C-alpha cells in the first residue's frame, strides 16, 4: 500500500509539472501570436428575431397539441411566403419592401485594462455605418471596469462615430461601466443599466511599487538617465523626489479634468462636480444621479423591440492559429482555476 501511495504521489507531481509546462508554453505561444501583425477577419451577423422565434417554437412544441402546432406552422409559412413575395416585388422596383421594419443592430464590448476589444469594435462599426438606413438604431452592450486612458479614449472615439452618423445609440450596462467604461457609455444618446450594475468611478488612479530601499540595502546601484526635466517623474527603482511626486499628481489632476470635461459635454445635465469624485453607484441609484437614463437590462430592451424591429447582432471574428487557440485555452483554464480557489476561500459573499 505504501508503494502505491508513493506511486500516486509521484504521478500527481509529474502531472502538476506537465500542466505547468503546458500553461507556460501555451501562454508564450499566445503572446507571440498576439504580437504579430493583425490578421483578416469577418463580420458575423445573427438575426435575433429568428433566434427568439425558434426558441419560442421549441417551447410551444412542448406545450401545444399537434393540431395547434400544425395551424401555427401553416400561419408562419403563409406569412413567410407573403414576405418573400413583397421582397421580390420591391427588389424589381428598386425599393424597400412595403411594411419593412426599422433595424436595430446589436454590438458588444467586453473591456479589459487595455481596452483590447476596441479593435473588434472598430471593425464592426466600419462595416455597419455604410449599411445604416434612416430610422435604424444601434444598441451597444457595454461591460468594462475601465483601464488605460489612451485605450478607452480611442474606444470612446469609436463609439462617437455612431453618434456622428446621426444614428440613435443606446448603451446597455448589465454589469459594470466604470471609469473608462463610463467614458464610453456617456457618448450614447441613452444609457440603460441593470439595477445592480456598477456605474461611475469618474476619476483617475495610478499606483506603482518602489524598490529603491531594497536595492540600496543590497548595495545595488540603479541609474536613470533622462533628457527633459519631467521625462520621468516617478520610477520603480530610483529614489523618488517630492518634486517628481508633485508633478505626477499634477498630471493626474490634468487627466481628471479632461475626463470631467468630456463627460460634462456628453451629458450636460449632470452635476459633474458631484459625480466626478471617483465614487461608484449601483444602477438604481445612478438614475437619480443622472448617470444613466433608465433601469433595464439589454435582454429586456431587445425583447420589447422584437415585434416592430428587425434585430441583428454583429460580431467581428478574427481567424486564430492553433497556437493562439491553445494559449487562450490554457489562459482560460488557469483563470477559472484561480477564480474557483479564490471564491472557495473568501468566505460568505453575494
Distances (CA, A) of 181 to 120, 151, 152: 16, 11, 7
Which candidate in 108, 144, 179, 201 is catalytic? 179
How far is it, in rounded angstroms, from Cα 266 to Cα 190? 11
In what helix (H) or strand (E) does residue 294 lie, and over which residues does it extend? strand 294-295
Q: What is the Cα–Cα distance from 4 to 147, expressed in whole angstroms?
A: 51
Q: H or E element: which one contains 143? A: strand 137-143
**Cα 126 from Cα 314, distance rounded (Å):** 12
- Alpha-carbon gap, residue 30 to 343, rounded angstroms: 27
Contact 187, 160 (CB under 8 A): yes
Q: Is 231 a catalytic residue?
A: yes
Q: How far apart are CA 74 and CA 83, in angstroms?
A: 14
How far does CA 188 lie from the centroid of its chain? 15
SS3 177: strand
Cell 443592430 identifies what position? Answer: 105
Cα-Cα-Cα-Cα dihedral of 165, 260, 280, 336, to 10°? 60
Alpha helices in the chain (DSSP H): 2-34, 48-63, 66-93, 118-128, 149-164, 180-185, 212-217, 242-266, 272-275, 283-289, 298-303, 322-345
Task: Check 37, 58, 231, 269 and give the catalytic one.
Answer: 231
Active site residue 269: no
Q: How far is CA 348 from CA 8, 176, 195, 282, 343, in A?
A: 34, 22, 22, 21, 9
Beta bridge partners of 106: 139, 313
Residues involved in catalysis: 179, 231
Amino acid at each position: 500500500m505504501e508503494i502505491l501511495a508513493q506511486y500516486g504521489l509521484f504521478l500527481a507531481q509529474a502531472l502538476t509539472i506537465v500542466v505547468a509546462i503546458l500553461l507556460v508554453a501555451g501562454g508564450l505561444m499566445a503572446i507571440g501570436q498576439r504580437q504579430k501583425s493583425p490578421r483578416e477577419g469577418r463580420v458575423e451577423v445573427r438575426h435575433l428575431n429568428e433566434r427568439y422565434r425558434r426558441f419560442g417554437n421549441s417551447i410551444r412544441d412542448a406545450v401545444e397539441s399537434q393540431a395547434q402546432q400544425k395551424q401555427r406552422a401553416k400561419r408562419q409559412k403563409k406569412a413567410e411566403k407573403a414576405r418573400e413575395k413583397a421582397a421580390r416585388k420591391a427588389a424589381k422596383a428598386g425599393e424597400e419592401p412595403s411594411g419593412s421594419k426599422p433595424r436595430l443592430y446589436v454590438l458588444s464590448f467586453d473591456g479589459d485594462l487595455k481596452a483590447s476589444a476596441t479593435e473588434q469594435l472598430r471593425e464592426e462599426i466600419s462595416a455597419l455605418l455604410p449599411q445604416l438606413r434612416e430610422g435604424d438604431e444601434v444598441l451597444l452592450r457595454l461591460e468594462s471596469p475601465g483601464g488605460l486612458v489612451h485605450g478607452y479614449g480611442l474606444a470612446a472615439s469609436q463609439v462617437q462615430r455612431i453618434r456622428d452618423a446621426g444614428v440613435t445609440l443606446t448603451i446597455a450596462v448589465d454589469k459594470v461601466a466604470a471609469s473608462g467604461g463610463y467614458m464610453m457609455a456617456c457618448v450614447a444618446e441613452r444609457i440603460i443599466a441593470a439595477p445592480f450594475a456598477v456605474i461611475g468611478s469618474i476619476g483617475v488612479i495610478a499606483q506603482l511599487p518602489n524598490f529603491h530601499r531594497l536595492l540600496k540595502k543590497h548595495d545595488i546601484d540603479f541609474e536613470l538617465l533622462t533628457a527633459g526635466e519631467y521625462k520621468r517623474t516617478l520610477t520603480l527603482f530610483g529614489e523618488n523626489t517630492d518634486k517628481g511626486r508633485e508633478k505626477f499628481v499634477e498630471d493626474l489632476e490634468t487627466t481628471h479634468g479632461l475626463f470631467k470635461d468630456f463627460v460634462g459635454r456628453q451629458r450636460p445635465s449632470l452635476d459633474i462636480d458631484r459625480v466626478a469624485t471617483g465614487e461608484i453607484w449601483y444602477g438604481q441609484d445612478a438614475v437619480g444621479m443622472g448617470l444613466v437614463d433608465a433601469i433595464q437590462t439589454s435582454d429586456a430592451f431587445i425583447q420589447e423591440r422584437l415585434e416592430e424591429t428587425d434585430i441583428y447582432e454583429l460580431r467581428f471574428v478574427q481567424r486564430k492559429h492553433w497556437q493562439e487557440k491553445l494559449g487562450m485555452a490554457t489562459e482560460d483554464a488557469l483563470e477559472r482555476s484561480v477564480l474557483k480557489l479564490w471564491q472557495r476561500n473568501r468566505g460568505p459573499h453575494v
